[in-house]
Amino acid sequence: MAAKVSLLARIRLVLWGLVAVAAVVVGALFLGQMQEAARQGASLPGAARFGGDFELVDQNSKTFSSDSLKGRPYAVFFGFTHCPDICPTTLFEMTRHLEALGPKADRLQVLFITVDPARDTPEQLQQYLSAFDPRIVGLSGSEAQIADVAKKYRIVAEKVVTSDGSYTMNHTATVFLFDGKGALTSTLSWEEDEKTRQAKLQRLVDRG
């Protein structure tokens, strides 16, 4: 038994050593890339590619293309309707923020993308979203379409089975803010107070 454990321990040590070596290589390559990018005056690698094009279905069962976002600022966040706390709260807060923005709110497109398309059909989204600002667009799609968007926005979305045989979703809850040029400018987080979030949205719509 002891011999077995020590063999495992040795394998672990060797493997961790290899991990360390590989990590150093990655780091070195990455640093080189960054320096190259800095020389050319480019943004951080990958920053320009955050987000991206998609085509999904809205709560009225109409196709929604990211093309329609061009030229206007937008806020996008991911969630699901079988969510007890953060999703309805974020939708409620976005409703309040839109209200506080006044007429300028019309410039801002707010998107709620489900990470649970199996249960969040357009009909389910329509019913659920009726409790919030009607300008909020809810988006669903096929499992593959949702996986693709989640990847583009680097969203964590993992299914967790519950003891009643059903499931819930762990997911990224950050609200991403994009300007009219489609560039990520800021984020809203659950931990921030209402004033801070409102100011960020105000700046976003003021800039256009």
Partner 1 sequence: MQSIKLNGVAAAVAGLLATVVVALDTAAACEKHDKAAHAQTKMTRVADAGTTHNHAQSHAGLSVEKAWTRATPPGAKVAGGFVTITNSGKEPDKLVGASFALSKSVEVHEMTMTDGVMRMNEVEGGLAIAPGTSVELKPGSYHLMFMDLTGTPKESEPVKGTLRFEKAGEIAIEFAVAPIGAKSIDGAGGNTPAGHGHGGHEMKHQH
Q: Give 44's contacts (C-beta < 8 A, 6+ positions apart).
A: 34, 37
CA distance 7 to 25: 27
Determine the residue type at 159.
K
The residue (of 82 and 107) whose beta carbon lies closer to partner 1 is 82
- Among partner 1, Cu ion, none, the one that 82 touches (CB under a kind-dependent 5 to 8 A) is partner 1
The residue (of 82 and 203) whose beta carbon lies closer to partner 1 is 82
Number of residues in the chain: 208
CA distance 101 to 108: 10
- Among Cu ion, partner 1, none, the one that 71 touches (CB under a kind-dependent 5 to 8 A) is none
As measured in angstroms, the least distance from the Cβ of 179 to partner 1 is: 20
CA distance 108 to 204: 8
Residues that bind partner 1 (CB under 8 A): 8, 11-12, 15-16, 18-19, 22-23, 25-26, 29-30, 32-33, 36, 81-86, 88-89, 91-93, 96, 119, 124, 127-132, 156, 160, 162-164, 166, 168, 170-174, 187, 189-191
